[in-house]
Amino acid sequence: MPEPITFAIVGGGGTAVVLGLANRQFPVFKELMDLVGGVVATILFAPIMLICALIVKINDPDGPILYRQVRVGLNGRLFTIYKFRTMYMDSEKGGRAVRAGADDPRVIPWCRWMRMSHIDEIPQLFNILRGEMSLVGPRPERPELFEELSRQVPDFERRLAVKPGLTGMAQIYNGYDVDSDSVKRKLEMDLEYIEKMSLGLELKLLFATFAKFRDTGAR
């Protein structure tokens, strides 16, 4: 059974006591942060999500508003991820995974700002509320890409030890995968996050995410 959570806040040392408790009981705090943070963020971003939905539907009315894709999650469990559809229909003919390139012609022009600001990823708040993702963690890969990268990069499957995240150390500091070296750096950062997981690191990465709302390297 988990040990009882008991503590006392005394004077100015109360913050240190709370942080110490949070780090000792971090899995519980992380689940709570995901639930509360997911609900609050969904409410705050609701008007923006409505605007995005209208833009997608007006510019490509024949397709769905949301883009659904199977990803690999915690312990290899497959789940469906949600994003705003920012590309024209049939952008990946035959279902083959094709990475987005700079000035990709498949992107709907009026939706390009969603990719630059990563607003297209906001529907993944629903994945967080469903318990499939976390606010912070490694980005989930498509099964076919995960299988390929697992063959090329040793220990790549170790990223599955935690829930995938909406943001994370590799997303903030490494950017997009463009070659094998960037994939290796991403893995190093993901494993560093898993090893050093704490409330302080979680909050640091969440605050650092705000700078990615204007990501000039986004595709």
65: closest CA among 135, 122, 144?
A: 122
Asked if the structure places residue 8 within a domain, the reply is no
Contact 84, 122 (CB under 8 A): yes
Residue count of the chain: 219
Q: In sequence order, which ranges of 69-168 are alpha helices (DSSP H)?
A: 112-117, 124-129, 143-152
Asked if the structure places residue 15 within a domain, the reply is no
Which residue range is the domain that position 175 belongs to?
25-214
pTM for this prediction: 0.83
The per-residue pLDDT for 6 is 37
For residue 167, the SS3 value is: strand
The per-residue pLDDT for 162 is 96
Q: Give the chain's residues under pLDDT 50.
A: 1-12
The per-residue pLDDT for 2 is 41
pLDDT in tens, 37-51: 999 999 999 999 999
Asked if the structure places residue 9 within a domain, the reply is no
Contact 89, 163 (CB under 8 A): no
The per-residue pLDDT for 205 is 95
